[in-house]
Amino acid sequence: MSKKKAKREGSFKRAIELLESGCSTRAAMRHLRSEGYGADTNMIMAAYELADIPDCKCGRPNGHKGWCSERVKNSPKRQAYLKRVTKHIRQQANAVA
CA distance 22 to 94: 41
C-beta closer to Zn ion: residue 60 or 87: 60
CA distance 11 to 19: 12
Q: What is the DSSP string of 13-56?
A: HHHHHHHHTT--HHHHHHHHHHTT----HHHHHHHHHHS-PPPP
Phi/psi of residue 31, each to 5°?
-60, -45
Q: Supply the minimum distance, in Å, between the C-beta of residue 32 and Zn ion.
A: 23
Closest CA to 46 of 25, 30, 61: 25
What mask of x and - would describe binding to Zn ion in positions 31 to 70, judged by CB under 5 A? Answer: -------------------------x-x-x-------x-x
C-beta closer to Zn ion: residue 46 or 56: 56
Residue 27 binds to Zn ion (criterion: CB under 5 A) = no
Q: Supply the minimum distance, in Å, between the C-beta of residue 61 and Zn ion.
A: 9
- Number of amino acids touching Zn ion (CB under 5 A): 5
Q: Supply the minimum distance, in Å, between the C-beta of residue 47 and Zn ion.
A: 21
Site residues (CB under 5 A) for Zn ion? 56, 58, 60, 68, 70
